[in-house]
Amino acid sequence: MTDSTQSSTQPFAQQAEELPIEQHPFPPVLPKEATIMMMGTFPPTEDKWAMPFHYPNFYNDMWRIYGEVFFADPDHFRVGEEKRFEPQRIIDFLHERGIASCPTVRSAIREQGNAADKHLQVVDKVDLDSILTQVPQVQTLFTTGGKATEILLSLLENPPKLPKTNQHIDYPYPTRALTLYRLPSTSRAYPLAFSKKVEAYRAFFAKMGKI
């Protein structure tokens, strides 16, 4: 290898080594009476936040889907005409309906500096033992994309095959037998119409007795 080749590759190696490890910025929401728990991955960089809460990007449709499913109004959690949602209104709703929300990733490296799951290097996964002790009635987990599903399956000694979107599987966690549902990603990068995402989430919440 020539000196010129070495010098051209070293900056890239150095850059990879210097990528920061980020901690998940938002604590889980764990209502004691929760019976189901939503589990995603990692939020976008702070410059993309419309609020300091789970799914903070205004252009992620999570809270619009919740608004449409539960209140027939995609802007139910929106602050007037502003491009943001109201975190406390969402938290109060989750407690009222018994829905927990907890990320599957505690720390990670953004390999490309964005929120794309395919470029997310997971450093520290969720401590599911600790989380489950705080939500003793949770019997069902539901993920909001493939990456979160993969991470949860990796916590099992003998992980089953990854379920397809809108399917569910038994999740035999050592401390509690659960059911795991995989729902569509609410990112607009996921190629599914908003109405179809609403339909999937509505069917799930109806089956869980939440609506």
Residues 6+ apart with CB under 8 A from 200: 165, 166, 183, 184
Indicate if the pLDDT at residue 37 is higher than 90: yes
Share of the chain above pLDDT 70, in %: 90
- What average pLDDT score do residues 119-145 get? 94
> Residue 113: its pLDDT value, please?
65
> Residue 18: its pLDDT value, please?
81
Running DSSP on this structure, what letter comes out for residue 16?
H
Beta strand pairing call for 36-39 and 105-110: unpaired
pLDDT tens-digit series, residues 40-91: 998 989 999 999 999 999 999 999 999 999 999 999 999 999 999 999 999 9
- What average pLDDT score do residues 138-152 get? 95
pLDDT tens-digit series, residues 47-56: 999 999 999 9
> Residue 117: its pLDDT value, please?
67
Residues 6+ apart with CB under 8 A from 163: 149, 169, 180, 181, 182
Read off the pLDDT band of 11 (50, 70, 90): very low
